[in-house]
Structure 1
Amino acid sequence: MMRLPPIVLLMAAVTLVGSNSLALSPVALEIGRGFGGASAQEVLVAASLFGAGTALAAVGIAPYADRIGLSRALSVALCVLVLGMAATALAPTLAVVWVAQGVAGLGSGVALPATYGLAAEIAPKGRESTFLGRVLMGWTLSLVFGASAAALIAEVAGWRAVHGVLAGLGVVVLLALALSPRMGEVRAAQGGTPWSALRVPGIGPALAVAGGYMAAFYGLYAYVAPHLQAGLGWPVWMAGAVPLVYGIGFGAAALGDPWIDRFGARRVAPWVFGVLVVQYLALALVAGSAWALVAGCLTWGMINHMGLNLIVGRLAGMDAARRGAILGLNSGVTYLAMFVATAGFGWVEAGWGFAACAVVSAVCVLPALGDALRLRRAR
C-alpha cells in the first residue's frame, strides 16, 4: 500500500468519526424496519449513546494519550471505532446496535483529540492554522458521506452496508497508519492525571468559549431541516441540501486558513466571531425564505470553519505536553453542548420559532467575541 502523507491520514480519521456520527439519522427508519418496526426515536438512542461514549472517553481516557504518545493513541482509538462500526453492521438486535455505537463513541472520544493534537505537532512553525484547517476538511467529507451518501447506500444495499463500508474504510486507514512513519511525539510526565489540564493557565475561558460556540452550532443545525420541512413545506430530499451546502462552505473556507497564520489568531479572531454573530442574526431575518436560508448555510459553513480553527488551534497551543488532556476536555465540552443545546433549542423552537433559535445562537457566540477582544487588547 502506498504511504500517505500524515495530513491525509489525520483528515481521514476525522472523516471516519464524523461519518459514523452523522450516518445514523438518515437511515434510522430503515434500521427500525429491520428490527420489527422500531421507531426512529428508539433507533436514535444509539446516537445518544455514541455521544455519551465520546464525551466519557474524551474526558476520562483521552488525557492518558499524552503518556503513550498521540500517534499510538490514535491507532488504538481507531481500532475501537472500527470494532464498533463493524458490530453495528452485524448487530442481530437493536440493543446490540446501541451497545456497538457506545463502543464506537469510546473510540471517537480519543481519536478526535489525538488527531487535533497531532496536527499541531507535525505542522511546520508558522503554518499551524493551515495544517489544522486541512485536518478539519474531514468534517466536510463526513457531511457529504455520512449525511448524504448514507441514505443512498442504504437504498441500494441496505442499512447494514452503510456501517460495513465505514468499517472497511476504517481498516484501510489503520493499515495506512501502520505503514506510515510514526508522527511527532510529545509526551507528558507519567504523574499526570486526566484533570491536570484544568490547571493550564487560560483553559477555563477557552473551554467556555468552545462550549458556547458549539452550542450555537448544534442547537441551530438540528432544526434547520425540520424547519424547512414542517415550516416551509420542503420535501425531505430537498431538505437534505442543508448538510451538502453547509459542507461546501465549510470546506471552501480552508482557502482562508493561511490568513490566520499570516495575520495571527489574536488579530483575526474578533473579526471571525463578530461576523459569525451577524451571520446568525441574518439567518433569523431570512427564516421565512427557504432558498435564502439554504444559501445562508453556505456562508455559515465558511465562517464556522474559521471559528473552529481558531478555537481548536488556541487549545492545542496551550501546553504541548498536555494536548491530549486539553483537547479531550474540549471534546467533552463539545458533546455536552450538543446534548444541552439540542434539547434547549427545541424548547425555543417550539415556543418562538426557528428565527428565535438563530438569535439565541448569536447570543451564544457573544462570549467568544468578548474573549477575542479581551485577548487582543491584552496583547
Structure 2
Amino acid sequence: MSYHETEHMPNLNRNIQTLALLAAVLLVGSNAFVLSPILSEVADGLATDPFRIAWAISAFGAATMVSALTFSGLIDRLPAGRVLGGAALLLALAQVSSGLSQGWLWLCLSQALAGVAVGILLPGTYATAASTASEGREAARLGLVLTGWALSLVLAVPLAAVVTEWLGWRAVYMLLALLSVPVSLGLILALPDTPGTTTTRTPPWRAVRLPGVALLLVVMFAYMTAFYGSFAFFGEGMRNAFGLSAQGTGLFVLAYGLGFGLAGIGLGLVAPKITRGYILLVLFGIAGSYGCWRFALVDPRAAFAGAAIWGILNQLGLNALVVSLNRRAAAARGAVMGLNSAVTYSAVFAGPIIMGPVYAGAGFTAVSGLAAMFVLVGAAFSWKVV
C-alpha cells in the first residue's frame, strides 16, 4: 500500500484527509471508552449485573484482535476509502444493535460486531495516515490523527455520562451511530479511490517476518502493557491518594487527554525525525514519568501536571513506534498494522491482569514502578531494531 504519489496533492485535500482519519480514530475511541462510565446504568436497564455488561468490553477487545489479524490486510489490496468507509458503516450497524439490546448477551454480540469493524478501521487508519503523508512527514500526519484518542477521552466520555443522565444509555449508542455515518461518507469521499500496491493477501505470519517487525511488536506489547495496566488503576489511585469523588478523578483523566492531544498538535507542526536516539529518549522519559508517580501523589497539582506529562510522552511514544512499524511494512502496511492492533488489544487484556494483584498489595505507586520496568524492557529491545 503506497500513496506517496500524492506528494503534490493540494494542502486542502491533505487537511480533509487528515480530518477524516482523525474522525475515524475518534469514532473508535468513543466506542471503546463510553461503556465503562455508564456500566451501572446499562446493567440496570438490562436487569443484570455490571460484571456481565463488562463482558461486552472483553467481547469487543477479543473480536478486534481476531479481526485485525484476519481482515486488516484488506487495506493493502483495496481502495482505502471503500475499506475504511465500509468498516465505519459496519460500526454504525453494531452501535445501533447495541442501543437496541434486550439483554447482556445481545449487547456482547453487538460489541463483538463492533470489534470486527474496529479491527479493520483502526489498523487501516494508521496505515493510510502514514502512506498518504509526504516523505518525512509521517510522524506529523500520524500525530494529528492520533489526537482522535485524546478527543474521545476529553469529549466522548463526559458526554456519554450527560446523555445517559438525560436521555438514557441507549441514546449514547444511537448518537454514536449517527456520528459513524458521516464519518464513513467522509472517508469514502476524502481518501484515494485507487487499490493498494499488492493484489495478494499478506498473512500475519509473513508480515511478522519482515525485518524488525517482530522486535518492534515486542516493544509495543511492553509499552502498551505498561500503559493499560497503569491506566486501569489510575482513577482509583488518584481517588485514594486525594480522597476524590468519581467526578474529581475525571479531572486527572482530562489532564492526560489534554497532554496527549496537545502533543499530537505539536507533532503536526514539528514533524520530528524518528531515529533510534529519539525513540530511546522518549521511552526513557516515559519510564521516568511512571517512576515519578510516588512523588507526584503528595499534591493534587503535581499529580495533575504528572498526568499531562504522561499524556504528552505517551503520544510521542505511540507515534514513534507506529511510524517505525509502517516504515518496515513496505506493501504490507495493513497487515503489519493489524498485528500492531492485535498486540495492543492483547496488552489491554494482559495489563490489568498483571497489575491487579500489584495494586491490591501495594497500591498505584507499585503499579507505576512495574510499568516503568516494562517500558525499560521495551527500550532494550528497541535498541536492536531502530
Q: TM-score range by the shorter chain?
A: over 0.9
Q: 2:208 aligns with which of 166, 179, 198?
A: 198
Is this contact kept in 2: 1:54–1:332, CA < 8 A? Answer: yes
5 Å-filtered alignment, 1:30-109, equals 30-36=41-47, 38-109=48-119
Stretch moving more, 301-310 or 226-235: 226-235
Is this contact kept in 1: 2:274–2:324, CA < 8 A? Answer: no
Segments of structure 2 that go 5 or more residues without pairing to the other structure are 1-11
- CA–CA separation in structure 2 for the residues paired with 1:166 and 1:65: 24
Q: 2:39 aligns with which of 28, 35, 38?
A: 28
**Cα displacement string for residues 143-187 of structure 1 (whole angstroms, at most 9, x for unaligned residues):** 123322111111111111111111000011112233335266433
Letter in 2 for 1:316: N
Match of 1:6 in 2: 17
Is this contact kept in 1: 2:20–2:190, CA < 8 A? Answer: no
- CA–CA separation in structure 1 for the residues paired with 2:233 and 2:146: 23
Match of 2:233 in 1: 223
5 Å-filtered alignment, 1:154-173, equals 154-173=164-183
5 Å-filtered alignment, 1:147-158, equals 147-158=157-168
Tell me the CA shift for residue 76 of structure 1: 2.0
Match of 1:309 in 2: 319
Match of 2:296 in 1: 286
Is this contact kept in 2: 1:196–1:325, CA < 8 A? Answer: no
Match of 1:365 in 2: 375
Distance change >3 Å, CA 369–CA 260, structure 1 → 2: farther
- Determine helix, strand or coil for the equivalent of 2:360: helix
TM-score where L is the length of structure 2: 0.91
Letter in 1 for 2:27: L
5 Å-filtered alignment, 1:316-327, equals 316-327=326-337
Match of 1:132 in 2: 142
TM-score where L is the length of structure 1: 0.93
Is this contact kept in 2: 1:81–1:103, CA < 8 A? Answer: yes
Tell me the CA shift for residue 44 of structure 1: 1.0
- CA–CA separation in structure 1 for the residues paired with 2:21 and 2:198: 21
Distance change >3 Å, CA 262–CA 32, structure 1 → 2: closer
- CA–CA separation in structure 1 for the residues paired with 2:380 and 2:276: 12
Tell me the CA shift for residue 361 of structure 1: 0.6
The share of aligned pairs that are identical, in percent, is: 35
Tell me the CA shift for residue 69 of structure 1: 3.7
Letter in 1 for 2:351: A
Tell me the CA shift for residue 121 of structure 1: 1.2
Tell me the CA shift for residue 195 of structure 1: 2.6
- CA–CA separation in structure 2 for the residues paired with 1:284 and 1:212: 21
Total equivalences in the alignment: 374
Letter in 1 for 2:222: G
Distance change >3 Å, CA 245–CA 43, structure 1 → 2: same
Tell me the CA shift for residue 31 of structure 1: 0.7
Asked if 1:209 is matched to 2:216, the reply is no
Stretch moving more, 52-61 or 13-22: 52-61
Is this contact kept in 1: 2:222–2:377, CA < 8 A? Answer: yes
- Determine helix, strand or coil for the equivalent of 1:126: coil
- Determine helix, strand or coil for the equivalent of 1:5: helix
- Determine helix, strand or coil for the equivalent of 1:229: helix
Match of 2:338 in 1: 328
Tell me the CA shift for residue 241 of structure 1: 1.4
- CA–CA separation in structure 2 for the residues paired with 1:275 and 1:153: 38
**Cα displacement string for residues 74-132 of structure 1 (whole angstroms, at most 9, x for unaligned residues):** 12211221111111111122221111011001101110110001001110111111001
- CA–CA separation in structure 1 for the residues paired with 2:195 and 2:142: 17
Letter in 2 for 1:130: A
- CA–CA separation in structure 2 for the residues paired with 1:143 and 1:249: 11
- CA–CA separation in structure 1 for the residues paired with 2:156 and 2:374: 27
Is this contact kept in 1: 2:215–2:385, CA < 8 A? Answer: no
5 Å-filtered alignment, 1:292-303, equals 292-303=302-313
Q: 2:120 aligns with which of 107, 110, 125?
A: 110
Tell me the CA shift for residue 70 of structure 1: 3.4
Distance change >3 Å, CA 177–CA 362, structure 1 → 2: same
- CA–CA separation in structure 2 for the residues paired with 1:48 and 1:255: 31
Asked if 1:341 is matched to 2:351, the reply is yes
Match of 1:254 in 2: 264
Is this contact kept in 2: 1:27–1:154, CA < 8 A? Answer: yes
Segments of structure 1 that go 5 or more residues without pairing to the other structure are none
Asked if 1:179 is matched to 2:189, the reply is yes
Tell me the CA shift for residue 207 of structure 1: 0.1
